[in-house]
Amino acid sequence: MKMKFNFTFNLPVFLLALIFCPWGRADASAGLAGTVVDPSGAVVPGATVTLQNSGNGYQQNGVTGDDGSYSFAALTPGNYQIRIQAPGFKPYLRSGIAVAEAAQLRVDAVLALDSASTIVEVSAEGSEADLSSTQLGETIAAKKMTSVPLNGRAYTDLLALQAGVVPASSRQPNAVLMSGCTSTSPSGDLNPGNISVSGQRETANGFVVNGANVEETFNMGTAVVPNLDSIQDLRVLTSNFDAQYGNFSGGQVVVTTKSGTNQIHGSGFEFLRNTALDARNYFSQDRATYDQNQFGAALGGPIRKDKVFFFADYQGTRLIQGIDTGLITVPSIQDRSGNLGDLASQLTGQVNGQALAASLSQRLGYTVTPGESYYTSGCTSTAQCVFPNAVIPQSAWSGPAKNLLPYIPAPNQGSDLFSTSAQDKTLRDDKGAVRIDANTRWGNPSAYYFVDDYYLNDPYPTGQGGASAGASC
């Protein structure tokens, strides 16, 4: 199977696309709320609440109501700090508040009486509890994702860590789906995320990247698998999610990529797998080739401090993998000559009709009669059966059988088993993305552009049987 996807990168066109593409805040679905009280537990109305994004400096201001409550909606994911001030109380500062996609957090504050010129500062470790939403799910932060060794570096391999998710897919490599084609994975051979969540079908999940639906409509898996180093957090909602996710009955997989900040940050990586480091498959004659290189980098920073930010990433994958066929039953050397003595018990039946009897008589050179048995136990002469000693002379073989036999490998494991890893699967995958964020008087517009160019050549596209009627499209 050969699959090739080409994209031509043109810088002027790309810049125009960023300028004229729809900018929005589709991923700004998180919220933060809380109540401000004094040491006695009485609410503090009229307190000034300032919420600031620690990365890009964008801030929002609010005032507590008569019941001491405050709320901020439509927050973009990131790390925040909150500052609360009220007459007669010490300023309150809490930092390290991690806001994930679709999270509704609650941060309550207790103000201390102002007896000295000090600031009460609280540093939050980890993510806040989502107490104001019925959504069930878990968030996996960037540090956790990059700390786990993932073969292929696909975030979809982490979905099975959530409660209520079946850790394996029932999809078969030769399953024919939809319009007569087998399933196609994103980025060459990565996991498309077709797994069962909360007992629903494997095709019932929704996939969102930066607020945009990225589910492909053929196999209902994800079409976009960003570079793992570019993902800020991954949130998997398993049940009771809000109405905005009502289009899917399975899980909601929400991915947020990193945005630039006022500080320049970058990273680079190279992951290597090599044949010299591998062991031989127990059932194989030799050690299969396995050479894989995954390399890339990510960089983010300000275009204009406190105003415009960028984040760009790239990942390349090069793979040469010898595919082990496993043990396949093939005709033995004896069978290939026409001597089916080892399969004599299967050589049953009788000659059906005068036409077949006449054809066999002509090919074999002796008389065959309708109703005569092909072979019976102990048959040693043509007077007893058509094929004495369970031997079928090549003169009786059909033309297609003679021509196809050379393409069936001879056994190399025992008398009738064959195994090889000589055929290589090759993959070249190049993918990258650019994200632009801005702080304006109208809000926080954001643009994200992703491109994936890969070439996959698989010698066994539908399992060890090779291409069938349902070849990949």
Give the Cα separation of 305 and 57 in Å (integer).
9
> In the predicted model, is pLDDT for residue 374 greater than 50?
yes
Give the Cα separation of 370 and 350 in Å (integer).
8
Give the Cα separation of 112 and 120 in Å (integer).
8
> In the predicted model, is pLDDT for residue 139 greater than 70?
yes
Which pLDDT belongs to residue 160? 81
Mean pLDDT on 162-178: 68
Which pLDDT belongs to residue 23? 44
CB atoms within 10 A of CB 389: 14
CB atoms within 10 A of CB 276: 7
Mean pLDDT on 391-406: 91
Mean pLDDT of the chain: 81
Mean pLDDT on 430-447: 89
Binned at pLDDT 50, 70 and 90, residue 473 comes out as very low
Q: Which residue has the higher pLDDT, 185 or 368?
A: 368
Write out pLDDT tens, residues 376-385: 988 999 989 9
**Could you tell me what percentage of the chain is helix, strand and coil, using 3-state DSSP and rounding each to the nearest 5?**
15, 35, 50
**Structural domain spans, the chain:** 28-123, 342-406
Which pLDDT belongs to residue 14? 43
> In the predicted model, is pLDDT for residue 432 greater than 90?
yes
Beta strands 206-209 and 252-257: pairing type?
parallel
- Residue 46, both tokens: 């009229």
Which pLDDT belongs to residue 379? 92
Give the Cα separation of 231 and 27 in Å (integer).
14
Q: Which residue has the higher pLDDT, 199 or 409?
A: 409
Mean pLDDT on 413-423: 86
Binned at pLDDT 50, 70 and 90, residue 282 comes out as confident
Which pLDDT belongs to residue 368? 92
Which pLDDT belongs to residue 292? 93
In this structure, whether the domain defined by 28-123 belongs to CATH 2.60.40.10 is answered with yes
Q: Which residue has the higher pLDDT, 195 or 333?
A: 333
